[in-house]
Chains A and B, each alone.
Chain A
Amino acid sequence: MIRKLTFGSVMLYAILAVLVVLYLTPAYMALITALKLPADITLPRAWEIPATLNWGSFSEALEMLKPNLINSIILTICATALSTVLGSLNGYVFSKWKFAGSEIVFTLFLFGMFIPYQVILIPLFQTLRAMNLYGGLPGLILAHVVYGLPITSLIFRNFYAQIPTALIESARLDGAGFFSIYTRIVFPLSVPGFVVTSLWQFTQIWNEFLWGICLTRYSENPITVGLAQLAGGQAVSWNLPMAGSILAAIPVLAIYVFLGRYFIRGLLAGSVKE
């Protein structure tokens, strides 16, 4: 279909072009600053493309953030796996094995997703300290798993609602029980649900900062805390924080660019009433 070049469509593309430039500006700025030599970074010439490309900032930032990156990888993989599996089981119960009051329980679960986490921070801090988990990754993993339960249960519940109840009923008539229905019917159909949920949890946990800074000691800091420390120091020249930002953003950006379809589904599942 060839569209006519009307005033309206010219305006549409013009506005879109301006918006694209505005949305990409921060990414452009981060990239050119990261590629400059520290001496070339001055405020009046902040927008200029560097004459010589200095890839060294990336390896330097990587060297500084390496412990944080390793912490974040361990944290994110463990917490994502655990909360996704639990969410899948919960979603299965919430959608296919409703009991008296299960809707109320589900609503009470959802509430946990919307609280400002400051309100549980002090007891969480004390509890982890009492359990000897304060300061290390296991405590942080525990926190992410528990407070990830509402969203993972929600996504899986809505996902399993699409599996026809008749399928479950007939399996039950054939003598299948609670767990065998899950392992033989529900779980094999769950792959997209697992993808959506784990991508969502991965980005959330990777990007999290408040617990990272309040609940871990220096050597166990995740990447966001490491980056904030790298960028917070006044003496550091700006190429390192920018290179660090790009490094911290790469895993989630890669998920988003290559698996964007699933990411958007998680995003919609987390907000729209089914």
Chain B
Amino acid sequence: MALPAKGAPDIAQGFDSGGEKIFNRFNETPLAATTGTDGTRTLNTYYELRQYPGSPPRVPHDVPDSFSGDTLKCLSCHGRGGYDVTLDAYAPVTPHHEYENCFQCHVPRRTEKLFVETDWQSINPPLLGRSEMGGSPPPIPHTLQLREDCIACHTGNAAVAEIRVEHASRGNCRQCHVPMIATEPRKEFTRNK
């Protein structure tokens, strides 16, 4: 199930790259769920499902043909995460649970074959651990568009091992981590004279 919107009543929504979502998610997720480390996902399996850094991943597991627009079925696992017995895996949590037409962007794979071969290429995924100084908090290497909810992807059993944080008990991620998009040219400060 999707998270209810919980911010202070009567405030504007959707500003600061949906920053409210982080607080809601932190509030709603039991500590045990954010600190779990039993998952098996790695960056390798993460990128196998994608066509370029930031593309919507394919659905890696079987979904019945009749499985269609009933979003509760997707969000029952991917809304809050948790262990799935049939797949023996922890379900990754979506960072954009407010969108309910899941198959709009995520499709399964019914064949391995291609219609014709492709010349598609893309860039390397962003580098990890780019702390500016030894031990300083690394910046956020990706855009926040559709990925505003840090806690969804970076904590808990379903988090990709390489990007899982070890201080999930803190709920104000962007207090220390700021976006510095690794795949875009870096803008240095120059003084207007």
Q: Do A and B bind each other?
A: no
